[in-house]
Amino acid sequence: GENVEQHPSTLSVQEGDSAVIKCTYSDSASNYFPWYKQELGKRPQLIIDIRSNVGEKKDQRIAVTLNKTAKHFSLHITETQPEDSAVYFCAASVIGGGYQKVTFGIGTKLQVIP
């Protein structure tokens, strides 16, 4: 099955700086890579996703890059704000057959220091 590795497990940055979280996956069949933000005691919320036919996607202050050959994908948050503090999960999935099984990384606890 799929195995997703994520690092770092914790990350502290000063407000306004950038944060980068990196993930690798093992299953070359994976073709969809969502990123989730989870605040304490709440459900994971999808913040951005990328499909395997795209190398980069940006949405305001967040961007995701994908290197299919190396099986790497990364989340970039620029101009970080205190409200960005949360746990971020990368995930890998195969879309097909009408369902989506998602394998998560271990998570990165991001702390943005005001």
Interface contacts to another protein, rule CB under 8 A: 41-46, 89, 93, 95, 98-107, 109
Longest CA–CA span in the chain (Å) reads: 45
Minimum gap (Å) between residue 62 Cβ and another protein: 16
Considering the complex, what minimum distance in angstroms separates the CB of residue 38 from another protein? 9
Measured from the CB atom, is 50 or 105 closer to another protein? 105
End-to-end CA gap in the chain: 41
Least separation in angstroms between residue 2's CB and another protein is 10
Looking at beta carbons only, is 73 or 89 nearer to another protein? 89
Question: Quick one: 11 exposed, middle or buried, by C-beta within 10 A (0-12, 13-18, 19+)?
Answer: middle
CA distance 98 to 15: 41
